[in-house]
Chain A
Amino acid sequence: MHKTRLQILICGGTGCISSGCLEVEDALVAALEKHGIRDEATILKVGCFGFCEQGPIVKIYPDNTFYVRVEAKDCEELVAEHLMKGKHVDRLLFKSPITGESCHHHMDMAFYKTQLRIALMHCGMVDPENIEDYIGVGGYEALAMALNDLSQQEIIDIVKASGLRGRGGAGFPTGNKWQFGLDNKSDKKYIICNADEGDPGAFMDRSIMEGDPHAVLEAMAIAGKAIGADEGVVYIRAEYPLAVNRLRVAIAQAEKYGLLGDNIMGSGFNFHVRVNLGAGAFVCGEETALINSLEGQRGEPRLRPPFPAQKGFWGQPTVNCNVETYACIPLIITRGADWFKSFGTEKSPGTKVFALAGKINNVGLIEVPMGTTLREVIYEIGGGIPKGKKFKAVQTGGPSGGCISEKNLDVGVDFDTLTAIGSMMGSGGMIVMDEDDCMVNIAKFYLEFTVEESCGKCTPCRVGNTRMYEILERITQGKGKPEDLVELRELGQTIKDASLCGLGNTAPNPVLSTLNHFMDEYEAHVLHGKCPAGACKDLVNYVITEKCIACSLCAKACPVNCIHPTGSETPNGKKKYVIDQEACIKCGACIPKCPPKIGAIVRE
């Protein structure tokens, strides 16, 4: 039954690879060999466990021990103590930030306790480069059902009944999309997987493809059967090399096993999948621009209608869904629509994967039932704001979304509630901001992104967003005028109304939502020339007060040597220090250097 007494899983996602998991794997093998127990353990590199903040993560089965921030130098102790003697290495266990106690099992951690994994069910659990693991957990059974037991309409009816909505952002009902794909008759149809994940801070699609690529491929084949397509394309950005590689490995393995390709499982159904690399333009996440790019044209959106389900790739009916949407499909088929609907809210059933980032303790990838409140996500799973700072806002929906303030933290998250409070689901990025973040500056950051990513086809988007950006730049430099705020609103609304695609329709959102929720910060910049958060460098001065004791610590820390002893004398005859405002780059490096009990440096 078991090949070895132990199975050791190492997180092999992009995040953990950059924090050194490959070295950990080598060191672990070396330590096992040294202790003569290499044959007792199987080592597997799996997909993302989600707790990226604590990576690289090493999980030991059947002990269920969850080691965090493991480095290569820890592996000898891990083998000598835990594997040889059954002693847990306490210093590598996660410590609860509340009680300080060590957590042995990941389900003891607040980060995992309330999570519910559907799209990520097998991510971090199966070896993504070995199809045997996926088959072993029941993989491709949903495809077998779709090919043997279900008619095209029955597959679509299950997806419709599940209430699954597109996880790429807009939340369009997936079953309806497939129905259009089936109803539009043609000899040739296509299935596309939109893996052009582009929101800053979002990495759920990448993690699914890195951790469980077969789930996506299986779902694409099911979609192919449902609408009568025999060809699928995964459109993925080239900057995801690990995901690209694992998808290619998975396609090759599935073809060898006859689970993709011609005459799948002897059913007579053919379905071929290929991977198409994109150059990483944000607009290509928009489905019509994506199709243009696939056809070798510029990544510019087309007019809709006709929708892709009517005339899509090469003018043929095309169903295009997001990675996370596909990842939910196999379980919906095998476990049924009612099972899926038992999670989440009435209008948004199921779960959603979020990428937590920004000023939050537990940066990582999480999956929760729809309807979970932002407060639960940020304070329970996310562990709150670091360094005891005060929460200011959470940005959802990426550059198309908006900022949500404290007063809406108890809203249960789903597609409709987020739209109602002036933001949107988007692909599921959640960036948390604290008191040190200036909301005008944040709006400027997102707008800069969309200005750069606008394809330039529509004037309102190309020129309008640039004008908005210029206004924001003026405001953050202290040169804003009260009428700028009116103009921002007018421009924003016009751009939303007059742009062709989702990029332009939503680009002003970060500005409009911050204008709605954080007008006081805009007014402070424009009317009083102040940045309350102290983030806008042009509006901030660092000054050394009379409390200075001339210890010179600040001067040593200054990267541009602009702090000199040219002030008045201290009681013991030394010259107090003064910051040369002309030369100061306002980096703030001097403040923490000033001894707290002196506290002579202030930000004005």
Chain B
Amino acid sequence: MEKVNSREELKTLRQKYKDNVIMRLVSDNAKDRVEIYVAIGDCGLKSGARDIMKVIFDEVNAKRLEKVSVIAMDCVNGCDKPDAPKVEGNFACGHDPTVDVIFPGEATPTRHGKVNADMAKKIVADIAARLEGK
């Protein structure tokens, strides 16, 4: 246990322990964050989307992208509902692993289909570049 001997040491500790709470702080202010959704429903699971989610999460972590949240979501095309219309050319569950990226203020997400590990890294790198560009 570190003893805080000065204001600077408190600041250092705060930087360190911010990691504990940053997920909660950013999520509570959700309108300012970038959200990456990975479809890990039944079809996603079969296509290995959980591994892709892990790659994305690790990349976001490694790059310390504080304002980016990696969130799991259900199948994008309602494959569990047989009545749901299958849209040709759109990303059906057959295109899993599916990854959606939505920036603050955007109405619709950008959708990526058949994402592999390299593409996943590229998606995160693009987000990082776009955030830096701002």
Contact = CB atoms under 8 A, between A and B. Distances in A.
Interface in B5-58: 5-7, 9-10, 13-14, 17-28, 30, 38-42, 44-45, 53-54, 57
A61 B17 contact: no
A85 B17 contact: no
B32 to A, nearest CB: 13
Interface residues of A, number: 38
A88 B71 CA distance: 12
Interface in B78-106: none
Contact of A257 (B1, B41, B44, B60): B1
Interface in A119-158: 125-127, 130, 132-133, 135-138, 140-141, 144, 147-148
Tell me what chain B mostly uses at the interface: helix, strand, loop, or mixed.
helix
A83 B20 contact: no
B21 A105 contact: no
Contacts of A62: 23, 26-27, 69-71
Interface stretch (A2-10, A307-315, A479-487): A2-10
Contacts of A257: 1-4, 13
A265 B9 CA distance: 8
Contacts of B1: 256-257
Contact of A86 (B5, B17, B27, B40): B40
B64 interface: yes
A304 B71 CA distance: 59
Nearest to A125: B24
A473 to B, nearest CB: 51
Nearest to A255: B3
Contacts of A113: none
Interface in A134-187: 135-138, 140-141, 144, 147-148
A132 B40 contact: no
B20 A136 contact: yes
B22 A86 contact: no
Tell me what chain A mostly uses at the interface: helix, strand, loop, or mixed.
loop
A105 B30 contact: yes
A83 B72 contact: yes
Instruction: Name, among A1, A126, A257, the residue most crowded by chain B CB atoms within 10 Å (CB to CB).
Output: A1
A85 B22 CA distance: 24
Interface string A349-382: 0000000000000000000000000000000000
B14 A138 contact: yes
27 contacts: A1-B60, A1-B66, A2-B57, A7-B23, A9-B24, A61-B24, A63-B27, A63-B71, A83-B72, A85-B74, A86-B44, A86-B74, A87-B74, A125-B28, A135-B14, A136-B20, A148-B7, A256-B1, A256-B3, A257-B2, A257-B13, A258-B4, A265-B5, A265-B6, A265-B9, A266-B4, A266-B5
Q: Which 5 A-B pairs have the closest CB atoms?
A: A136-B17, A86-B72, A62-B69, A136-B21, A258-B3
Interface of A: 1-3, 5, 7, 9, 61-64, 83-88, 105, 125-127, 130, 132-133, 135-138, 140-141, 144, 147-148, 256-259, 265-266
Given A62-B69, A125-B28, A136-B20, 16 more contacts: A1-B66, A2-B23, A62-B27, A83-B72, A85-B42, A86-B39, A86-B40, A86-B72, A87-B41, A132-B20, A136-B14, A256-B3, A257-B3, A257-B13, A258-B5, A265-B10
